[in-house]
Each structure stands twice: as C-alpha cells, then as structure tokens.
Chain A
Amino acid sequence: MTDRALHDLVIRALADAPFRRSAEWRQRALADPERVERFARFLARHFYFERIVHFFKYSGALARLTGRRPDAVLGQPAFAALLPSLVLGSQDSARAVAGLVVAHVKSGAPSPPIPYHDDLLRYEQTMMVVEAGPRVWREAGNGQPATGNAQPQTVQGTALLDLAYDLPAVLPKLLQPFTTVPDAPARPVRLIVARSRHGRVAVAKATDAIVSILDLADGRKTLDDLAREAGLRPAEVEATLQGLTELGAVRFSTGS
C-alpha cells in the first residue's frame, strides 16, 4: 500500500464513524484511537456547522422571529447521538442532520406566522441533502463533459421540489434588512435542485420538458429516443439537456 493510500484510510477514519469502529481500521493501530475520535467529532461539528450556516441561511435570517438559530442543533443531545453514525459527505448523514435542523426550527412558532415557512425549510433541507456526495476535486483531462453521440443520464441525487409558494421571488429579500417579513406569492412552483461534479448546488424552475427528460434520461436512450418518448422537438430536447448539464442534473455516459 502506498503512503497516499494509507493516508486515505486516515481521512476515511476521520470522516466515517462506522469505519472507525471496524476491525479493518482498528487492527492497523495507526494512531491513538482516543485522539482520533476526539478530532473526528470536532471535524463533524465543523463540517455540519458550515453546511447549516450556508444552506439554512434564510432560516438564520428569520431566527429573530422564530427564536431558533439553525446551527443551535449542533450543541444539542440529538446531534451528539448522531455522531457515532455520521459519515461526512454522505446523503444519509446530510438528511439526518438537516432533519434535526428542520425539527428544531419548526419547534419555534414564528410570530407573526410566516405562511411559506414549511416550504422554506423543505427547500433548505433539499439543498443540503443534494450537496452531499462524492465530488471531483481535479480534472484528469480538459474538464469538458462528453456529448456527441453519448446518452444522457439523470444524475443520482437530483431532486424535484414542489412548493406551494414561489420561494425564488422572496429569498433574496430575506437576506436584506426588513421590518415586516417579505411576502412570497402563493402560487405553486416546481424547482429542480442539482449538484455539479465539483459539488456546486444550483436551483432552477422546472418546466414540463425538464421533468419529462429527467424521468426518461437513463443513460441508454439517445437524444432522438428522448425527443420521441417525451413528445418534444429534438432542438428543444438538446436545449433542455444543455441547461440540465450546466446545472449538474444530467451527465452523458459514453458507454463501455
């Protein structure tokens, strides 16, 4: 085993609590287990602090009304109870931590009530969960995705979010100073939340064409197949796929 591979084991042990308890790790006796555990817990709190502050920033801005700062969960017993199961960067762990945040913020009844509060929390939770997962840190080639004759495939973890309020219309206002809580138009919107290979999360309004293509893009169908099955013009499919690729919702498989 190379030193680089051995170092990867140390990184994994710090990031992956179940792995730290495994015989595979413990038998190597690479470091003082007590020190490793303490540092791993420190890293976990830091890891989720950064994500909660970022993805729940709107709830953070509303904390003076809800009485609930999202990052306060990190000091609560419920988070401590999660520590033995957390795997930094996994969607399951992101879902568990984001769930704690949502429950905590919901436990404070905003005064006055915020009609779109539930939508807002679902939006923030989805952003945090979609962000989780392995990422490409460095490009081996020129970084350009394959297209041409390749078959598009919906990226695992891409989420569609149906909301009762038009949140994108109100989100920027929540980060500005306000005396009364800004209103969100009560009209249904469907959003697509996706993540690039480099871990950047992006949101866009989902059209019917987008929803169809996300359903159909399985890595085997060609652009013509998608156009035929979705009942769309090939040019429309191509334009939609370009937008979805930039968003990180679709990538092209080149087959084996």
Chain B
Amino acid sequence: MTALKIGAFYNPHLGRELAAAQGIDHLAMADPPRADDPWWPKIKARYTLLLHDYLGQLSEPLDERSIQRARSLAELYHTPWVAEHFQCLHTEDGAYNLNYVFPPLYTEEFLTRFVANANALKARLDQPLVMENIPGFFDVRHSQMAEPLWLRRFFEATEVGFLLDLPHVWLEAHYRGVRPADWLAEFPLEHVIELHVAGVSQDSDLQGPWIAPAEPAQEMLEFAAHAVTRCPRARAVTFDAFSPSLTAEVLLRGVERIRAALA
C-alpha cells in the first residue's frame, strides 16, 4: 500500500483557513467553486482536488448535459478520480426528490441498471470512476440480496473503484445491531481507492446516531485504522465534513486526529 493521503472537504466559508492550513494533502469538492470565492485561486493552486459533486443517479443513464458537466469539473480540478454515489433519490418522472443520498433497491434489476450506466459513464471520463456506498436506515423487503454482495457484484462487473464511506458502514452496523468490524468484513474491500471518515451525533428525528459535521470519535478513528489495513489499494482518506456550520477548528483537528490514528 502506498502512503495514504489525508484530506478534507473544501468548505468555502473556511477558504481563508484552508488556504493557509498545514497537514492537509487534498480537498474533495462537493460543489463547484463560486465565482466570487476569493480563496478559490489559492485553493486550486495548492491542493490536489477530488471531484465529489452530485453528478446524477446511475439508476438511469446520465444525460449528455450531466456528462459534460462532470467532464468539465474533472478538468477544472485535475482530479485523480471522479466520485459518484450508489444512490437513487428522485423518481423517474422527477415528481419526488429526497434531496439527500438514498440507496437503490439491492436487486438484480438495479444491479443491471447501475452496471450499464456506470460503464457508460466510465467510458466518457478521462479519469477513473469511484463509487461511494450509501447507508440505509431501513430495509426494503423487496431487496434480493445484502448490500455488500450487491456491491461486490457491481465492482466485479465494472472494475470501477470503491469509495468506502466508513461512517455509513458504522451506522448500518449500529442499526442492524452487529459489530461494525464484522459488517465491514462483508464488503469488497479489495476495490477500495478512497475512504471517508466522519463524526456522528444523535439525531432527534432518527432517535439515533447519524452523520454530522463533527470530529470523529475515538471509536470511529479506531475503526478507520482497522479498515485501512483491509484495503490494500487505498490511496486517500478524507474527513467527510461539509456544512456551513462546520468550524475551522473541527475541520483541522479532525484531519490531524485521522492522520494520527492512521500513522
């Protein structure tokens, strides 16, 4: 395994701090830079940037407009890979939209759709494609296989990279009542290129933990340290915190603690 790069998400409201920060190897870009962002030129000049925008949902083929947008962002960032999510969050007719990542049904039909559409997208990109796992808060009884098996078959069929979001795995394990390390072991870790690490906090609607723009707890850091030993092709770990409420202190300390935990 090559030396892991440790990075964070670009939060434009923290542009000043990120432009001067030490100890951050890369920044993931969740949104295109704003035209009036005074820190963007310095950020672009200084950091390796990872394209992590909303590109679409691969239950349907991306249209030409979305592909051109992805290509143009990839070129702007000089990204080493392009990230997309295993998500299906709006209805086919556009009438309903959850505005939040939501996983597909784990069925043969959806697997066929995602494989075909990921292969089509991959063929139109000049960079490798990586796909991020998305947590389910509840199981849909129509699913035909467990998520890890569905993912394994997807990666074998497409040979795209795996962006392993560890808090997503941790949350699923929590809500399933299983040990996170045991649940993690089910996933196709040999395909992992990048890992996400993040904090979780109690959510009053969910009546349980969920992703939050907070520092990762010690348990999550230990989970990350365990996970990277199982991911021989991993090249980067990213502190997955992106929110207007995120403070520079939390972001910088989060990266520092991840780096220390993985040293």
Contact = CB atoms under 8 A, between A and B. Distances in A.
Contacts of B113: 4
Interface residues of B, number: 42
A187 interface: no
Interface stretch (A11-19, A119-127, A210-218): A11-19
Interface stretch (B56-64, B150-158, B219-227, B254-262): B56-64
Interface stretch (A45-53, A106-114, A145-153, A245-253): A45-53
B205 A134 contact: no
B105 A7 contact: yes
Interface stretch (A35-43, A97-105, A201-209, A234-242): A35-43
Contacts, number: 114
19 contacts: A6-B142, A8-B91, A11-B88, A11-B96, A15-B97, A29-B141, A43-B98, A46-B99, A47-B98, A47-B99, A47-B100, A88-B98, A134-B93, A135-B94, A137-B57, A138-B61, A138-B62, A138-B65, A142-B64
A36 B94 contact: no
B137 A138 contact: no
Interface in B155-213: 203, 205-207, 210
B104 A43 contact: no
B107 interface: yes
* Chain A CB within 10 A, most for which of B60, B65, B137: B137
A141 to B, nearest CB: 9
Contacts of A42: 137, 203, 205-206, 210
A32 B66 CA distance: 35
A30 B97 CA distance: 19
Contact of B138 (A6, A35, A45, A138): A35
B97 A138 contact: no
B139 interface: yes
A86 B188 CA distance: 39
A89 B41 CA distance: 35
B95 interface: yes
B138 A7 contact: no
Contacts of B105: 3, 6-7, 10
A42 B244 CA distance: 18
Given A7-B59, A8-B93, A29-B141, 19 more contacts: A3-B110, A7-B104, A8-B92, A15-B98, A30-B140, A31-B138, A38-B206, A38-B207, A39-B137, A43-B98, A43-B99, A47-B98, A50-B99, A88-B97, A88-B98, A89-B96, A137-B57, A138-B61, A140-B63
Interface of A: 2-8, 10-12, 14-16, 29-32, 35-36, 38-39, 41-43, 45-47, 50, 53, 88-89, 134-140, 142-143
Contact of B89 (A4, A11, A29, A30): A11
Please list the 5 inter-chain residue pairs (A to B) with the smallest Cβ-Cβ separation, ordered nearest first: A35-B138, A42-B205, A3-B109, A138-B63, A41-B205
A143 B59 contact: no
B44 interface: no
A42 B205 CA distance: 5
Interface string B141-152: 110000000000
Contacts of B93: 8, 134
Given A137-B56, A138-B62, A15 B139 contact: no
Nearest to B63: A138
A14 B100 CA distance: 11
A45 B203 CA distance: 11
A172 to B, nearest CB: 9
B64 A139 contact: yes
Chain B CB within 10 Å, residue with most, of A29, A36, A39: A39
A11 B102 contact: yes
A46 to B, nearest CB: 6
A158 B90 CA distance: 23
A139 B65 contact: yes
Nearest to A3: B109
Interface in B62-98: 62-66, 88-98
A8 B56 CA distance: 16
A96 B60 CA distance: 33
Contact of A12 (B62, B96, B207): B96
Contact of B97 (A3, A6, A38, A135): A135
Interface in B122-139: 137-139
Contacts of A46: 99-100
B142 A3 contact: yes
Contact of A31 (B91, B109, B141): B141
Given A134-B95, A135-B97, A39 B109 contact: no
